[in-house]
Amino acid sequence: MPSFSALYIESPCRDLPRVQKIRQQCAELPEVACARYGEVFNPVAQNFRLQKKRPALILAQKHQGFVLPTPQDYGFGKENSYYFSHLLNCPYDCRYCFLQGMYRSAHYVLFVNYEDFEREIEETIRACGNAPSTFYAGYDSDSLALESYSGFAEYFIPVFQRHPQACLELRTKSAQIQSLLNQEVSDNIVIAMSFSPDNVGQALEHRVPSFAKRIAAAQKLQARGWRIALRFEPLIYHQDYAQHYEGLFKKISGALDVERLHSVSLGAFRMPQSYFKNIVKRYPEEALFADEYTVENGLTAYPKKIEDEMFSNCEMALRRDFPEANYYRCGKEREACL
């Protein structure tokens, strides 16, 4: 459970019931009023790395852009792919994540006007007619990590249950699954869980629940009938990586019913160059960023030769343990993924 340093509340949403509930949960914290969340979140003179030690929770209202089209090649949906972000920043501290370089502040911004998101999601679904559509909820944060405060899944799962032609992907490294276990299972909700080999996780995924806890959560959800997807993104190049990923695939395929998985994906390490530069400035001593990278189309990535070698080895290993039919490569073309 994250421990917040303070609770900032945009004055206009102070009395909303969702905000009242969080205020009660955070009664011990300093409560600070602000006019707009940007006053706290956007100033230039901030230190992301220091804030990441003990971020604050900012409760705010979003005013526009509730639902946005995903970048090309993102995710499994072929057409009509969208994302929406109720939360900015993530309670986990994964060094390779583009969120480490995206914002100036490490505070969490929780947009509490879910009803506006719901309205725009439903309008988008209607605009797609009878065609299937996919909505990704884990783009700017972890979908479930702050669930005990946000009640996000609890609110949005019923929204998608009313629209079976639309698929919702919740992407998470969390083991907090109670709100899913409390709800009726739906075929159009996908719980996408991200995993890395143990050594990578220990070195780079700080504050993430242990592999054992997360795989146990995945097993429980699968046993309950939820559709689980596996995300091995980003692949991290390191000594003996092929063996480590192979070991990971074996461990997971032994723990889950692979035939019932919704999808399995691999993704390359890549992020906009400006974010990468920010991360290097923030974590100059991090060995991951001391490696060799190339910049192409404004994206920082491993050199193509290394990336190709990793995909080739990892895809081969993956095929041995998982059905090929539900595999896809995230950002298959070496073009803008973000």
Partner 1 sequence: MIRLVLAFMHEARPLIDYYRLAKAECPHPYPIYANDQIKLIVSGIGKTAAAAAVGYLQALGLPSETIAWLNLGIAGHGTLGMGQGFLAHRVEDQATGRCAYPPLVFPFSAKTSDLQTVDHPLNRYEANRGYDMEASGFVQSALRGATAEWVHCYKVVSDNPSLPLGKFDKAGTKALIEKRLDEIDPLVSMLIEQVLEWRAVNDPESAWDEITKRHRFSETRRAQLRRLLQRWKAMEARPILSCIDPGAYPNAATLLDDVRQRLSLHRLAF
Q: How far is the CB of 203 from partner 1 (least distance, A)?
A: 4
Please identify, using beta-carbon distances, which residue of 43 and 298 lies nearer to partner 1. 43
Name which of 34 and 159 has its Cβ closer to partner 1: 34
Shortest reach from residue 100's CB to partner 1, in Å? 15
Tokens 């996408």 map to which residue? 192
Nearest-approach distance from CB 48 to partner 1, in angstroms = 9
DSSP secondary structure of 217-234: HHHHHHHHTPEEEEEE-S
User: What is the SS3 assignment for 191?
Assistant: strand
CA atoms within 13 A on the CB side of 321: 19
d(CA 324, CA 303) in angstroms, rounded, equals 26
Beta bridge partners of 227: 190
Q: Given the complex with partner 1, which of 259 and 285 has the nearer CB atom?
A: 285
Using the minimum distance from each CB to partner 1, give the nearer residue, 56 or 180: 56
Q: At what angle do helices 114-127 and 152-161 cross, to 10 degrees?
A: 30
Interface residues with partner 1 (CB under 8 A)? 5-6, 8, 30, 32-35, 39-40, 43, 45-47, 50-51, 53-56, 107, 199-200, 202-204, 237-240, 280, 284-292
In the bound complex, what is the minimum distance in angstroms from residue 9's beta carbon to partner 1? 12
Q: Can you tell me whether residue 272 is helix, strand or coil?
A: strand
Distance CA 97, CA 238 (A): 17
Q: Which is nearer to partner 1, 97 or 177 (CB)?
A: 97
Minimum Å distance from CB 228 to partner 1? 26
Are the CB atoms for 321 and 250 separated by under 8 Å? yes
| Contacting residues for 245 by C-beta, under 8 A, at least 6 apart | 197, 232, 235, 313, 314, 317
Least Å distance, CB 41 to partner 1, is 9
